[in-house]
Amino acid sequence: MSSAASAAEGVDRPAAGAEVTRLDPVGGSSGHGPALTGPALTDLALARGELDRSSYLRPNDTWLAQAWADPQTRVVVAEHGCALCAIDDEPASLLFVSPSQAPEGVRFLLGVDELSTAYFGVAGPLPAPAHGGVRAVPLREAGPLLSDRDAGLMTEAVALANWHETFTHCPRCGSPTVPFAAGHARRCPADASEHFPRVDPAMIVLVTDADDRALLARNAMWPERRVSILAGFVEAGESAEAAVAREVQEETGITVGAVTYLGSQPWPMPQSLMLGFRAAATRTEITVDADEIVEAHWYSRDELRDAVAGGNLRLPPPVSIAHRIIQSWYGSELPGSW
């Protein structure tokens, strides 16, 4: 299953707001192709959350009630992957409402800032925009423009709202479940089973050959000229590294040796966590599966630049980890994106 980037950037889903843990790629090529060392990915658009999630407060009903009664408390309303933002302002900002202005809906604690201001999310209908510059904006569009704090808040709010909107019943007995732990879990009143936000891990990988050319592919669902690197969901009982090797082989016939982890980004559209990798090809002949991938080619940096400049290739947008991984290989700002 899976594939390049459609459902999630190739796959789509979340682990909201957490900062990227900086990992130094181990690099190395096992003798196949060039070494894969390079800078780890930092400051990914949707992985910049800086608010303390204050998870220790989630079981404290007294504190939660006091915080909700405080007019200084800020609430992010999320619905269908969107929140209200002043997106055209400089800088762009996320719109907060007070608890009394928040709509009915599942409530969840997002965190507490250094001034002890509490932030909640509510999964419910978006309030009417306060003024002309405010509108409902999808996370994919707002994420790169918001501050670190706001991007993290919106990512966490959208991820939790998506979960509450979707996972409403007990998978064991079918009873409606009830939120608890400040909206970070749900419990079945019939059998007491507890359920937690679902996150689907997906790998995304830049494959290079012995000449350090990059493999770019077009998903069957994409228009002509749009390409990205390969992506796919990690299957049950499978490591992320094994998923890299399997997906690359299934979709393009290419086999890979060394696999290097680069970083991760939540992609709550609706519930993915993208795990970024580079991999060295050990067999470079391309045979696309023609199901998920309809074409794939090797590109040198010069070929990539010329293809984009000539309008023959469109690369993923900066919000995506795919863009950042391709850029880390390319060595400078990419010449364009879709």
- What is the contact surface with Zn ion in residues (CB under 5 A)? 170, 172-173, 175, 188, 190-191
In the complex, least distance from residue 167 CB atom to Zn ion, rounded to whole angstroms: 12
In the complex, least distance from residue 171 CB atom to Zn ion, rounded to whole angstroms: 8
In the complex, least distance from residue 176 CB atom to Zn ion, rounded to whole angstroms: 9
Question: What backbone phi and psi angles, to 5 degrees, belong to 60?
Answer: -90, 90
Report in angstroms the alpha-carbon separations of 101 from 21, 73, 77, 112, 281. Answer: 36, 11, 10, 19, 55
In the complex, least distance from residue 179 CB atom to Zn ion, rounded to whole angstroms: 15
CA distance 139 to 80: 10
Of the pair 137, 170, the CB lying nearest Zn ion is at: 170
Residue 310 burial (10 A CB sphere; 0-12, 13-18, 19+):
exposed
Of the pair 198, 305, the CB lying nearest Zn ion is at: 198
Of the pair 115, 192, the CB lying nearest Zn ion is at: 192
Of the pair 195, 246, the CB lying nearest Zn ion is at: 195
Of the pair 174, 223, the CB lying nearest Zn ion is at: 174
DSSP label at residue 102: P
In the complex, least distance from residue 197 CB atom to Zn ion, rounded to whole angstroms: 17
Of the pair 88, 194, the CB lying nearest Zn ion is at: 194
Of the pair 30, 166, the CB lying nearest Zn ion is at: 166
In the complex, least distance from residue 194 CB atom to Zn ion, rounded to whole angstroms: 10
Q: Report how far apart the first and last C-alpha atoms of the chain are (Å, whole number).
A: 24
CA distance 200 to 198: 7
CA distance 186 to 239: 27
Report in angstroms the alpha-carbon separations of 295 from 225, 229, 249. Answer: 10, 12, 14
Ramachandran region, residue 305 (left: φ > 0; alpha: ψ -120 to 50; beta: rest): alpha
> What is the Cα 328 distance to its own chain's centre?
18
In the complex, least distance from residue 106 CB atom to Zn ion, rounded to whole angstroms: 18
